[in-house]
Amino acid sequence: MPSRSRALAVLMIASTSMVLSACAGAPFVGDRSAEAFAERLPGTWIESSGDGPAVLVLSEDGTFEAHDLPAALACGGSAGDPELEACRADPRPSSISTDGTWSVLDEEQGMLELDVDGRLLAVGYRDFDGFFAESFSLGFYTGALDVREPDHVFSRR
């Protein structure tokens, strides 16, 4: 009988170890946190946190189109920075539409850069939608990064 008890104990320890390691590593299952970030970016993203229907379309070729993007993300940069044409045309726009290129600044941290004619438009940050990292949103800040939640959150459509 002792061998049966021992086999059961080994099985229990192995099962517990597997469950605990799966829970401990859940947000980083496989390569979801790194290379999968860049691969999962192309597509249509809709702002889920704002008043308007802002849409961000990221193409596989590294270009993007932004429709009704909150002006706070694009206009009113630092003094001396070149302003986007859409911001110059209307000194107080509520939203703008523009296009440009996108690139990944840091795959591991999940940082996306949007660029329009050589000017940094915005930086988006991956924000996991759940503990198991099955999906993520893109968060954009208009001010300091030390706030709890991004000002604008875009979710995949």
pLDDT digits (tens, 9 = 90+) for 14-70: 454 444 444 444 444 444 444 578 899 999 999 976 666 899 999 999 999 999 988
Q: Does 79 have pLDDT greater than 70?
A: no
Instruction: Convert 15-69 into a string of H (helix), E (strand) and C (coil).
Output: HHHHHHHHHHCHHHCCCCCCHHHHHCCCEEEEECCCCCCCEEEECCCCEEEEEEE
What is the model's pTM? 0.71
Pair 124, 154: CB distance under 8 Å: yes
Percent of the chain with pLDDT over 90: 32
